[in-house]
Amino acid sequence: MKTSTQAIYKSLQGEEAAKFKKATLNVAMAARVITDKEDEKVQIINKLIGGKTAKEIIAMDEKK
């Protein structure tokens, strides 16, 4: 997941890259609030953003 997220981020530019970074950080922070266990954090993050496009991840963050 980390590798694909980094690849997506590197492919974006400007405002879209900033929004994507903010959205992924928000997901990671939410996972951290929910649990301290690393494997559970990864599962939460994968469930929320796994398989989604950058636009879908940004839209999800903007809906919150």
Domain count, the chain: 1
Q: Which structural domain, as residue segments, surrounds residue 56?
A: 2-63
pLDDT on residue 4 = 86
For residue 23, the number of C-alpha atoms closer than 13 Å in the C-beta half-sphere is 24
In this structure, the dihedral spanned by the alpha carbons of residues 16, 22, 28 and 33, taken in order and rounded to 10 degrees, is -150
Confidence of residue 2 (pLDDT cuts 50, 70, 90): low
Please report where in the chains the tokens 């796994």 appear, as a residue: 50
Predicted TM-score (pTM) of the model is 0.84
Q: Write out pLDDT tens, residues 4-61.
A: 889 999 999 999 999 999 999 999 999 999 999 999 999 999 999 988 999 999 999 9
Q: Tell me which long-range contacts 52-58 makes (C-beta under 8 A, separation of at least 24).
A: 53/8, 54/8, 54/11, 54/12, 54/16, 54/20, 57/20, 57/23, 57/24, 57/27, 58/16, 58/19, 58/20, 58/23
